[in-house]
Chain A
Amino acid sequence: MDASQRPEMTEHQKQQLQFQLFQDSLPKVNEIVYRMLLNEAIPMAVNVQDRLSEESGGHEDNETEQGLEQDLDAKLTFDPLKDHVPSHKLLQKYLTADEEYQNKVDERLNNIGFLLGQKLSQLLIFSNNPSLNFRDMDLLAVMKFVCRDVWRQLFGKQIDNLKTNHRGTFYLLDNNYKPVESFALDEDMSQEEQTLIEPYLEIPCGVIRGVLDSLGFQEKGQVICTASITSDRESQKTGSSASSRAVLFNVQINPDR
């Protein structure tokens, strides 16, 4: 910008320019890619679990020269599509697997969410308000932070409804849970679809756990977070088959002992 133009700008324009510069300087990432990455975590967890159980299944190592050669061959050639399984097939695998397997996948996802939550809270507190003192805040304020800032950062919206009994139990209701917004299997909503959506709720559960962990609720088992799909009340009224799914997060925080 020319120096000669500068005096002609009003105060308001200057502020606008400054705000624009600030906006441009913020790190940006494509929203679609981010959402896809977040969704892809579930097939990935299934795949990891699959490979682990394959390896522990015990394949014998043959120590012969030929075996070594083959081994070397396998290590030197790289074929990205060799054991490639499409995501929807991995999800089908999750559907047909037994409960122990499903629980292991869920736990893996929960841990991913936990780490994400820990880091996210550091970032949010730093970028939003570094002087915020969480020590003096009560539990409700902390949960409000989860509902507002954390959710907005993760899913681009706030939690729709927060309920509490003031004794450490919180209900967080999200009327339109974004990641599974466009998920549908067949003509009718089925039990299978419900089962397939459930692992998608593990990551936010972990995130809530992680955020609370970094805000001082660190004891093991102090925070219990579960999530369930509830049928959307509004869509039941209109009678249309819901395109948005309501998810209820149930957070139980035990007081300090």
Chain B
Amino acid sequence: MALYSFWIFDRHCNCIFDREWTLKTNPSSGTTNSKLNEDTAKLLYGMVFSLRSISQKLGSKGSFNEIRTIATGKYRAHILCTASGLWFILLSDLGQEDLSQVLRYLYSEIYVKTVVYNWLSPVDFADSPNERRGQGFRKIRNRQFLLAVEKFLGPMVN
């Protein structure tokens, strides 16, 4: 099992969290909320957005056809879209068929408990109207969230 990276996008098309692991052997390696990943984040967002709209158009009318995974020759992206417009995306190697349980845990047990229940942290990360069109730069920086993500995903990295 190998995880490559983990991303969260909010409903304003902003990337609010990214975590990339570089060394398989060392779960603490890599970058968190890095400026260098901004372009990658946009590309990833675009890819998921387009495939998501295709999958919704191809589904029969009225039915719910949400995208779950995208596999390429090298990696697989696992996607969880919540009703409030948050996207949780995990990139892993091709061995992983389905990480939806993992994503669900990340959302319900980690994001909700450390960001939503946390009165000191904003729930909507776009502060002003001009940050609402993908121009936002705010990230989740709170200690408990970072710790919980490391603790939960760390053992799955290699």
Contacts and interface: CB of A to CB of B under 8 A. Distances in A.
Interface of A: 35-36, 39-40, 42-43, 86-89, 91, 181-189, 193, 196, 241, 243
B25 to A, nearest CB: 23
Interface stretch (B42-50, B97-105, B129-137, B139-147): B139-147
A184 B119 contact: no
B142 A86 contact: no
Contact of A184 (B123, B124, B145): B145
B87 to A, nearest CB: 22
A189 B114 contact: no
Given A186-B142, A241-B143, 19 more contacts: A36-B117, A39-B119, A42-B119, A88-B119, A88-B121, A88-B123, A182-B114, A183-B119, A184-B118, A184-B120, A184-B142, A184-B144, A185-B121, A186-B143, A187-B141, A187-B146, A189-B143, A196-B120, A243-B144
A80 to B, nearest CB: 16
Given A182-B114, A184-B114, A186-B141, A193 B146 contact: no
24 contacts: A35-B117, A36-B117, A39-B119, A42-B119, A86-B123, A86-B124, A87-B119, A88-B122, A89-B122, A182-B114, A182-B118, A182-B144, A183-B118, A183-B120, A184-B114, A184-B120, A184-B121, A184-B145, A185-B142, A186-B142, A187-B146, A189-B143, A193-B120, A241-B147
Contacts of A187: 141, 143, 146
Contacts of A182: 113-114, 117-118, 144
Contacts of A186: 141-143
A188 B113 CA distance: 18
What is the interface residue range for chain B against chain A?
10 to 19
Contacts of A42: 119
Interface of B: 113-114, 117-124, 141-147
Given A86-B124, A182-B113, A184-B114, A91 B145 contact: no
Contacts of B120: 88, 91, 183-185, 193, 196
Contacts of B146: 187
Contacts of B119: 39-40, 42-43, 87-88, 91, 183
A202 to B, nearest CB: 14
B121 A86 contact: no
A188 B143 contact: yes
A140 to B, nearest CB: 35
A243 B114 CA distance: 10
User: Top 6 A-B pairs ranked by shortest CB distance?
Assistant: A184-B144, A184-B143, A182-B117, A184-B142, A88-B122, A182-B118
B31 to A, nearest CB: 15
A181 B118 CA distance: 8
B62 to A, nearest CB: 31
Contacts of A36: 117
Contacts of B141: 186-187
Between B124, B142, B146, the greatest number of chain A beta carbons within 10 A of the residue's beta carbon is seen for B142
Contacts of A88: 119-123
Contacts of A181: 117
A35 to B, nearest CB: 8
A118 B146 CA distance: 41
Nearest to B122: A88
A43 B145 CA distance: 22
Nearest to B142: A184
